[in-house]
Amino acid sequence: MRKKDLISLIQKTEVFSNPKIELEQYCTDANSAVDIIYFAGVEFNDIKNRLIIDLGAGTGRLSISCAYLQAKYVLSIDIDFDAIKVLKGNVKDLNLEAVILPMCADINRFEISAHLYPKELNITTIMNPPFGVQKKTADRFFLQKAFSFSDVVYSIHLANEKVHNFISKFVSSKNWSINYVLPFNLVLERSFPFHTKKTKKVAVNVYRFIKN
């Protein structure tokens, strides 16, 4: 599938009808979702024939993009049942049930056993964790969980020096390292009544983490 066709497909998927601000449920626009997955899947070949874990999957835009870049399987994890219902609907509409498995779970309690998937499958985790606006250090729990079972991790974080310094120290303490940082303007679509603009650009860094 051509990139522009995938963007068009993602744009048509259902999004949050009643997003929850406490979970920082902002909808990532289709262009951003596809760009980030192409970064992981084309620049680094970390999608095709891999087991993809999407932590905090929301309505599934990253998960669906991974499926179309030939992921072997995608586990889409989100704590919010309403988000999972939307995600399941999107997966069904696109006939991706054989590839994407949506799961409603708290990431702090989510575990994956090596006995549940073929040993030859590498695990790539791709996530857009909460930025910590509503709950400070919320992204820390996502990183810690991803490091517990992944071979490589992609994670989106606010682009500022304080966040970068924290991430650098944190990943090093877990025996991981920053392999690449992609500066990116994430476009968030209007989600709440207090948003005055249809879209808002947020400067972020897309990190690629690898084990030491």
pLDDT band at 199 (very low <50, low <70, confident <90, very high): confident
Q: What is the pLDDT of residue 164?
A: 95
Regarding pTM above 0.85, the answer is yes
| Residue 110 φ then ψ, to 5° | -80, 130
Q: What is the pLDDT of residue 132?
A: 57
What number is the average pLDDT over the span 187-207?
75
State yes or no: pLDDT of 88 exceeds 90.
Answer: yes
What number is the average pLDDT over the span 28-42?
94
Q: What is the pLDDT of residue 25?
A: 61
Would you say 103 and 77 are in contact if contact means Cβ atoms under 8 Å apart? yes
User: Residues 6 or more apart from 207 whose CB is under 8 A from it?
Assistant: 153, 154, 155, 156, 157, 167, 178, 180, 181, 182
pLDDT band at 191 (very low <50, low <70, confident <90, very high): low
Would you say 98 and 74 are in contact if contact means Cβ atoms under 8 Å apart? no
pLDDT band at 211 (very low <50, low <70, confident <90, very high): very high
86/104 Cα distance (integer angstroms): 12
Closest C-alpha among 68, 79, 66, 63 to residue 25: 79
The predicted-structure confidence for 168-185, as pLDDT tens digits, reads as follows 999 999 999 999 999 999
Structure tokens that stand for 165 in this block: 């310094």
Q: What is the pLDDT of residue 130?
A: 82
Within 39-187, residue ranges assigned H as helices are 61-68, 81-93, 138-147, 161-173
Domains and CATH numbers, the chain: 29-106+119-211 (3.40.50.150)
What number is the average pLDDT over the span 20-31?
75
pLDDT band at 188 (very low <50, low <70, confident <90, very high): confident
What is the crossing angle of helices 3-11 and 30-38, to 10°? 140
As a residue count, the chain comes to 212
State yes or no: pLDDT of 28 exceeds 90.
Answer: no
What number is the average pLDDT over the span 154-164?
94
* H-helix or E-strand spanning residue 54: strand 51-55
Q: What is the pLDDT of residue 37?
A: 97
